[in-house]
């Protein structure tokens, strides 16, 4: 019987400064485009992160294409990192 990989802790690689800046820029551009179109950017981004469906992101200012430049987990990693660094110092 094959052992399930879910029993082991996964490890993520540390991102370079360039990758971090790219994730921040993508999130900023997408957030602004959603806001300009009258959407709640937080709700739309959460929908995108949970479903993977780019239809949650407006095509205004090419935001849908921009958000797909990076993997969702890279964007989420940036969000979690910034939040925890601010909250936990």
- For 44-72, the pLDDT digits (tens) are 999 999 999 999 999 999 999 999 999 99
Q: Report helix, strand and coil shares of the chain as percent, to nearest 5.
A: 70, 0, 30
Averaged pLDDT for residues 10-26: 75
Is 12 a domain residue?
no
Is 10 a domain residue?
no
Is 2 a domain residue?
no
Is 1 a domain residue?
no
Range of the domain at 36: 17-88
Q: Could you tell me how many residues make up the chain?
A: 89
The mean of the pLDDT values for the chain is: 89
Unique residue bearing structure tokens 């996964």: 10
pTM for the full predicted model: 0.78
Q: How many domains does the chain have?
A: 1
């Amino acid at each position: 019987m094959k052992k399930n990989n879910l029993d082991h802790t996964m490890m993520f690689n540390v991102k370079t400064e360039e990758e971090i800046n790219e994730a921040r820029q993508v999130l900023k551009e997408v957030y602004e485009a959603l806001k300009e179109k009258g959407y709640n950017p937080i709700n739309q981004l959460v929908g995108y992160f949970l479903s993977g469906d780019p239809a949650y992101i407006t095509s205004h200012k090419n935001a849908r294409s921009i958000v797909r430049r990076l993997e969702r987990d890279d964007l989420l990693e940036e969000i979690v990192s910034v939040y925890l660094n601010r909250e936990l110092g």
